[in-house]
Amino acid sequence: MPEIRRSTRHSSPLFITSIGALGVVFGDIGTSPLYTFKTVLDMTGTSDPSAISGVLSLIVWTLIVVTSVKYAGFAMRINNDGEGGILALMALLGIKRHVRPLVIGFGLFGAALIYGDGAITPAISVLSALEGLNIVAPSLQTYVLPLAVAILLGLFLIQPFGTARIGRAFGPIMSVWFLVMALMGLRGIAQHPAVLWALNPLDGISYLFHHGGIGFLVLGGVFLCVTGAEALYADMGHFGAGPIKLSWSLIVFPSLVLNYAGQSAIVLAGAPTDGNIFYRLSPSGLTLPLILLSTVATIIASQSIITGAFSMTRQAIALGWMPRLKVMQTSAEGYGQIYVGAVNWLLMIVTIGLALGFRKSDNLAAAYGIAVSATMLMTSTLLFMAMREIWRWGLLASGLVAGLFLLVDTAFFVSNLSKLLEGGYVPLVLAAIVYAIMYIWHRGVLAMTASMDQNPISVADFIAGLSKRRVTRVLGTAVFLTRSSQNTPSLIQWYVDHSHSLHDNVLTITLQTASTPWVSAADRVTFMQEAPGFWRAITRYGFMERPDIPALVQQIASEQCPIDPRNVSYFIGTQKIVRREDGHGLPYWQYAAFAAMMRNGAHMTDFFQIPVGQLLDLGHEVAV
């Protein structure tokens, strides 16, 4: 397999890469003006100038503190060999000392919550874009939901074909979107320029302190302006920190601030607040083209979320926290161009179900913020640990910086909890299901490995005993893929017991996932000869890489291991999971779930790229 080197992934000119980032990284946060201010207005229930100024101040300073300071300023400086996101951060911290359950728990549940976000984002974004039809003609309202479902269905149906060609247009289209948003905002500000005084942070603080419970609950709506901020960190490996920060600072942030200020200005100038206030910034003759552009922008935002879910699934599989799923590379142009069928169809069912169940973007807003705010809260916790352990900051400095982030994230999370019964439970239930899958799979793999290693036999004793057992040695090389990194793998013992033969040369390969996304070819393999004709290779792959076993055997053969890669038979073990009879196995519910995952997971040949004609699949029972 060609070695994927991180240094080549960001080789495009800074400007081109920055434009590309607009279409992938900023789709979610870039379409939030479609529903954020509208949601907040519904919560405040007033057009009082002090309330409007206070809300605008809270929105602007939330964008500054959460996105500019926390993510662009701090989180993106902590990367795992260039990769970002909560799973990459978990991998970086989780192995810093030993196995760290707290770090792993925060990382996994934060990742699980992102799947909930991935289901809600397409539904709320597309619905909010199409709801502009109500302003063009109220009679079109009945068509909003069917159109939204049709668009969402089409979006998921095209995923198996890949989005490489369409993706080239994402950046330029989103550039137009941000330009249009900025111009609309300026048009609104011109109607009430005094709105710019609301950029003073004291207006937001004053609103919170003088409006009691309502002010606190409004934070849940304000938070919608930064849904998608986590993408700055998660997509860092695709574009690099520089282009993302440049796009945010020069294009995205100014456009968002101008648009939110414009929406606030027209409300203060007396514009009607019924319907979607975003579309009231547009000249009446341009509303329909704006709806079309908004719909395209929300489709791009949804595509980015879906692609992110695919990438995170691949990371989780490589790190050993999810069952093997079939991952298809849809383009040779970019490693991130992948498709995971199981994730796509499940997301489709949940997303369309949410659209049909909630029917309006206003209703979905209640379910939206809780997943993202919980993920951000967990990211802040891991950032505190990273400041202490990676940057070696003192407790006071780490506590002050991370404490500010935790205070803000906690306020938003608690505010969003008030919407728990209005739909906020949806992403939590989805996250709990995903987390349970990760937990059960990991527990099952550990139990299976322990069961297979119960009766260890040293390689020297095993090879010496072959002649006594009259085991026939046959020509060629047998390559066994095994989890065992010491003694004789149970797969080889099982094969010899049943076939009474073994190849002249035996190579065992144990795959280990590194805590970094990429591993160089020089650091890929450690191998040694443990007995005459018996070699063991310990191989390391990054959690963003896909193992290619035939290419690996070629590399091992070139490093003074006397095997002929042209005459190789590959052996893998397909385990049938059965229940232990001594009462010391997994609880029944975990056993049943793990056995179902093993039965329905992708075959090893899909994951390891082994030619079917050279593969022998040895099925055997393993008690857990």
Domains, the chain, in order of start with CATH, read 12-443 (1.20.1740.10), 453-623 (no CATH)
The per-residue pLDDT for range 535-587, each reduced to its tens digit, is: 888 888 887 777 888 888 888 887 767 777 778 888 887 778 888 877 778 88
> Do 37 and 278 meet the contact criterion of CB atoms below 8 Å apart?
yes
Q: How would residue 99 be classed by pLDDT, with cut points 50, 70 and 90?
A: low
The per-residue pLDDT for range 135-144, each reduced to its tens digit, is: 777 777 888 8
Judged against a pLDDT cut of 60, whether residue 84 lies above it is answered with: yes
Give the number of residues written for the chain: 624
Residue 501 is given by DSSP the state E
CA distances from 56 to 187, 197, 343, 405 (A): 17, 10, 37, 20
CA atoms of 60 and 201, how far apart (whole Å): 8
DSSP three-state, residue 570:
strand
Q: Which of 3 and 167 is assigned the larger pLDDT?
A: 167
Judged against a pLDDT cut of 70, whether residue 300 lies above it is answered with: yes
CA atoms of 238 and 85, how far apart (whole Å): 11
Task: Give the helix ranges, DSSP H, for 63-100.
Answer: 86-94
Locus of tokens 């919407």: 419
Judged against a pLDDT cut of 70, whether residue 2 lies above it is answered with: no
- The per-residue pLDDT for 334 is 54
CA atoms of 217 and 208, how far apart (whole Å): 10
**For all residues of the chain together, what is the average pLDDT?**
83
> Do 100 and 116 meet the contact criterion of CB atoms below 8 Å apart?
no
- The per-residue pLDDT for 94 is 65
Judged against a pLDDT cut of 80, whether residue 388 lies above it is answered with: yes
Residues 343-367, mean pLDDT to the nearest whole number: 86
CA distances from 316 to 107, 232, 309, 439, 573 (A): 11, 19, 10, 11, 22
- The per-residue pLDDT for 163 is 62
Report if pTM > 0.85: no
Residues 420-441, mean pLDDT to the nearest whole number: 86
Of 621, 571, 517, nearest to 87 (Cα)? Answer: 517
CA atoms of 207 and 213, how far apart (whole Å): 11
- The per-residue pLDDT for 4 is 32
- The per-residue pLDDT for 524 is 84
Instruction: Report the number of secondary-structure helices (H) and strands (E) in the chain.
Output: 25, 8
CA distances from 177 to 291, 363, 477, 486 (A): 11, 25, 59, 57
Judged against a pLDDT cut of 60, whether residue 5 lies above it is answered with: no
- The per-residue pLDDT for 193 is 94
